[in-house]
Structure 1
Amino acid sequence: MPPNSPPRAAPGSTVRHHDWEGADVGGGEFTDVTFVGADLSEVTTTGTVFTGCTFQDVRFNASAHTTTAFINCTFRGAVFFDTLFDDCKLTGSSFDRCRFELMRATGGDWSFVSLSRAVLDGTRFERVRMREADLTRSRLREAVLAEVDLSGADLAGADLSGADLRGSALGSVAGLDLPGTVLRGARITIDQAVVVAEAFGMDVRAD
């Protein structure tokens, strides 16, 4: 098997330091596999399914994923520099000590993800479902969250300085009214301003 081809991994197995840089992965399923120190730089996946997998110190630099699913996966120390997720499903996945510079997500479902304390400055989430996502104490300075469904998400203590939140559902977001949440310079529409004001307990009137 060429060194940069996708590994063959039985459910529950561990794959260490596998180099599949630049590989084109179409389909395929991985269940409860632990990837340690793997290089997935410039990899493209289409319709691949990872369920309950762990990615420890894995590099996803400049990789592109289309309709791929990372369901209930755990990412520890992973690097997502310039990574693209297009219409992907990351439901229930958690991220710990990961790097996200220039990461982009378009469409797809990121509901129930745990991004607590994540540094997401300058990332882009567009038309993504992030229902009940844990974004507590995350840093989203100058990030784009455009037309994102944040219903039930928790943003307590998050730093949204200069973030673009236009078109996103903010009605049931938790933590916007807490002192530790920073919204300085965040961009929203008039309609969203009413929603946020009501979250702060204001009585919004037309006159």
Structure 2
Amino acid sequence: MFIHIDQQYDHVDFSNSDLCYGELRNCTFHECNFNGTALEEVLTTNCQFINCNFSNANLNASQHIGSAYTNCRFHGSNLFVSKFDNCKMVGSDFAEARMDGITILEGDWSYTNLRHVNFGKQDLRKIRFMEADLYQANLEKADLRDADLTRVQLSNARLQGSDLRGAILDGIDFKSLDIKGVRMDLIQASSFARSYGARID
């Protein structure tokens, strides 16, 4: 196990290395490469990762508290039962990442690529997903109360049994959604009806 505190790394190649069980506090990583890196059970606290590559990395059971991963690539990475607590993930790409059992506590996931992700039965309350791509995502029975879903791409997403009450749905294409079994508040239901030409008096 290792502990790194207040360190800065710029264009460092950590690919295929073993960084399991480590702890990172207040560290900054700029354009670093973690391709294929073993990061199981790593703990990051208030760290910044900017334009870093985590493709095919193993992050299962890792924990991240107040950290930022901006414009990072997680293509094919393993995030099984990982935890992100109030993290900033803006612009990151999770194409083909394994995210089953992930825990996300609030935070900003705007502009992320989350196509085909499995968020079934997940607690996603109060998360900011503004303009994220959730095309064909599994959101069945997910709790999305008070989430910001402004202009989110939800085409062909599975929403059956999800809870959208209090969520911001500005710019959502309701006609592309199957809302069978979805819980909505009155304002959302009115917006949905208007999208189909209903007049609400």
Paired position in structure 1 for 2:175: 177
- The TM-score, its normalising length taken from structure 2, stands at 0.89
Q: CA deviation at 1:48?
A: 0.4
1:54 has 2:53 as partner: yes
SS at the partner of 1:25? strand
How far apart are residue 182 of structure 1 and its match? 2.7
Higher strand content, 1 or 2? 1
- CA separation of 1:144/1:39 partners in 2, compared to 1, >3 Å: closer, same or farther? farther
Separation of aligned partners in 1, 2:83 and 2:28? 20
Pairing partner for 2:187 from 164, 187, 191: 191
Match in the other structure for 2:44: 45
Unaligned runs of 5+ in 2: none
In structure 2, the CA distance between the partners of 1:152 and 1:143, relative to structure 1 (3 Å rule), is same
Between the two proteins, the alignment pairs up a number of residues equal to 199
Structure 2 CA distance for aligned equivalents of residues 13 and 118 of structure 1: 29
CA spacing shift, 1:200–1:20, aligned 2, 3 Å: farther
Question: Which secondary structure state, in structure 1, belongs to the residue aligned with residue 124 of structure 2?
Answer: strand
CA contact (8 A) 2:128 2:148 kept: yes
The percentage of counterpart residues that share the same residue type is 30
Q: Give the corresponding residue for 2:20.
A: 21
Task: Provide structure 1 residue ranges, at least 5 long, that are not aligned to the other structure.
Answer: none
Cα distance change of structure 1 residues 201 and 85 upon mapping to structure 2, 3 Å threshold = farther
User: Normalized against structure 1, the TM-score is what?
Assistant: 0.86
Is the CA contact 2:8–2:27 (under 8 Å) kept in the aligned structure 1? Answer: no
Q: Which residues in structure 2 correspond to 1:38-187 (within 5 Å)?
A: 38-173=37-172, 175-178=173-176, 181-187=177-183
Shift in CA distance, 85/201, structure 1 to aligned 2, threshold 3 Å: farther
Question: 8 Å contact 2:144–2:162 — kept in the other structure?
Answer: yes
Tell me which amino acid in the other structure corresponds to 1:54.
N
Letter in 2 for 1:142: K
Q: Distance in 2 between matches of 1:166 and 1:104?
A: 20
**1:19 Cα deviation (Å)?**
2.3
**Partner amino acid, structure 2, of 1:184:** K
Contact 2:8 2:28 in 1 (8 A): no
